[in-house]
Amino acid sequence: MIDIHTHVLPGLDDGPQTIDESLAMLRQAAQAGTTDIAATPHLNNDYSPDADLIEERIQELQAACGPSPRLHYGCDWHLTFENVTALLDQPRRYTLNHGRYLLVELPHWVAPEGLTPVLERLLSVGITPVITHPERHAILRARIDLLQCWVRLGCALQLTAQSLFGHFGRVAKRASWELLSRGLVAAIASDAHDLERRPPDLSQAWRAVESRYGREWAELWMITNPGRMLRDADLSQPAARPRRRWWF
Ligand SMILES: [Fe+2]
């Protein structure tokens, strides 16, 4: 599996603070079947790691952990005024492997319609916003029409794996399955921060998706599309929506 959203780098944000903690998270991910991990520290008003520092930490951690899992560059980019201004200057500084895909966490205090022109602006400079965990956003999860409109404009949606099981509440759980069943989701990621509460483990999500919709959908959301994001390739757009198997 390929995980495009994790906080595994030591000392850059609210993820692990030491390299030993980071290494334990990588081992856990590898044991769960993850081959590739994007290290995506927060970039917001609390944390502002520079792109060069992220690259440096990735190299150090990869050297310490060995070849598996493979680490990739990324950032959990929060949509703030400062971040947008900096991005327009250097659009691919914080994107996944410096390609077109940028993890974008939307603010919780803005009327969501007001975000459409900002997302359009990002698209206009060649960025594909990957909107992180809309199911955990109290306003957005009630506005599936708007999420649908953003996907049509060219944005992608990423769910947090643990939302599927109620870790972020019943409403988030319902919204995640709803977004999946409508075919709006491009990828499922762990958004891991530690070993226990928010671990880098996609295996439970894989099993749940596989048993509900079939293996091809687990593959699409946890291998194919995340892999394409890391390679800066076009996403796979299935012709039909996932359908629950008859026993569901
Ligand atoms: Fe995150």
pLDDT of residue 244: 87
Three-state DSSP state, 15: coil
CA of 7 to the centre of ligand 1 (A): 7
CA of 141 to the centre of ligand 1 (A): 17
pLDDT of residue 72: 98
pLDDT of residue 248: 66
CA of 75 to the centre of ligand 1 (A): 9
Quote the CA–CA distance of 120 and 136 in Å, as a whole number: 22
C-beta of residue 166 within 8 angstroms of C-beta of residue 173: yes
pLDDT of residue 76: 98
Per-residue pLDDT of the chain (248 residues; tens, 9 = 90+): 999 999 999 999 999 999 999 999 999 999 999 999 999 999 999 999 999 999 999 999 999 999 999 999 999 999 999 999 999 999 999 999 999 999 999 998 888 999 999 999 999 999 999 999 999 999 999 999 999 999 999 999 999 999 999 999 999 999 999 999 999 999 999 999 999 999 999 999 999 999 999 999 999 999 999 999 999 999 998 888 999 887 76
CA of 129 to the centre of ligand 1 (A): 14
Tokens 């930490």 -> residue: 57
CA of 245 to the centre of ligand 1 (A): 31
CA of 109 to the centre of ligand 1 (A): 18
CA of 248 to the centre of ligand 1 (A): 31
Quote the CA–CA distance of 89 and 87 in Å, as a whole number: 5
Phi, psi of 10 (to 5 degrees): -75, 135
CA of 121 to the centre of ligand 1 (A): 23
Going from the N-terminus, what domains does the chain have, and what CATH number goes with each?
A: 2-230 (3.20.20.140)
Residues 6 or more apart whose CB falls under 8 angstroms from that of 64 comprise 19, 23
CA of 164 to the centre of ligand 1 (A): 16
CA of 5 to the centre of ligand 1 (A): 6
CA of 87 to the centre of ligand 1 (A): 19
Residue 45 is given by DSSP the state S
C-beta of residue 27 within 8 angstroms of C-beta of residue 60: no
